[in-house]
Amino acid sequence: MEIIDAIILGIIQGLTEFLPVSSSGHLELGKAILGADALPEESLLFTVVLHFATALSTLVVFRKDVLDILKGLFQFKWNEETQFAAKIVISMIPAALVGFFLQDYMEVFFDGAIIIVGIMLLLTAILLYLADLARTTEKGVSFRSAFVIGLAQMVAMLPGISRSGATISAAVLLGIDKTKSARFSFLMVVPLILGKVAKDIVSGDINFQGDDTLAMGVGFIAAFIAGLAACTWMIKLVRQSKLTYFAIYCLVVGLIAIAWSIWG
């Protein structure tokens, strides 16, 4: 792998993990425009490295929250930190069940169904716009709302639905404080990413070649730095009610995708 390719892929992974534009949807659009074989398939190991980098960037941004959660868990007390950890676990249930039982059925949506991508991008745009209109509150995440946000994350498994956009919008529309919504959205995905990384590692499908070491390292750094920037930026945008910019972007791209599917 070329170094420049590793840098570009790392930046794309770091940005799209947090920005509400649907990385899976854009990948499907890229395949449709460039051809299914035009985008080279990178090694599973490189994908694992990039995902680990974005998970690490989340842990760095929310390091204080993560340390507080770990302290609460090791103290074996049912305090605010352990309750937050329990809410994270609850939010993971819907997506984990779909991924475990319905993975084969989900693959049909990742097979050039561009009109579905377009429609889902329009839905993402609507969610982001509605989230910006929501009133500012100081309400926190409850156990019930954690499950509802988890349902939003489950729906976001469809290409064109942004995971961060869906979960943050769902939280805000439930009346949760916008900063707390972004915090929960980004922390709730870390266990899923790390679980996916662990699954890929133990699967035995990873093939490491020594000459890819430099590219792996560069890609990791690029994804980590881009993830830090995107995560921090998104928190500010959510707090300042500026998700409408991404709503407009998703609206335009969604309409283009639908038009491409019908007349392309």
Q: For the chain, what are the domain ranges?
A: 3-263
Residue with tokens 């340390």: 67
Q: Are the CB atoms for 129 and 244 separated by under 8 Å? A: yes
Query: Cβ contacts of residue 149 below 8 Å, gap of 6+?
Result: 91, 141, 167, 170, 171, 174, 184, 185, 188
Q: pTM of the full predicted structure?
A: 0.84
264 residues of the chain, pLDDT tens digit each: 678 878 888 888 888 888 888 776 765 666 566 554 444 444 667 778 888 898 899 999 999 988 888 887 787 778 888 899 999 999 999 988 887 776 666 655 555 578 888 898 999 999 999 998 888 888 999 999 999 999 999 998 887 888 899 999 999 999 999 999 999 999 998 888 888 778 777 776 665 555 667 888 998 999 999 999 999 999 998 888 889 999 999 999 899 889 988 886
Closest to 246 measured CA to CA, from 162, 140, 148: 162
Model confidence pLDDT, tens digit, residues 188-242: 988 888 887 787 777 766 655 556 678 889 989 999 999 999 999 999 988 888 8
CB contact set of 10 (below 8 Å; sequence gap of 6+): 50, 53, 218, 219, 220, 221, 222, 223, 224, 226
Give the model confidence (pLDDT) of 120-143 as tens digits: 899 999 999 999 888 888 899 999
Do 86 and 143 contact (CB within 8 A), yes or no?
Answer: yes
Q: Report yes or no: 100 and 212 within 8 Å, Cβ to Cβ.
A: no
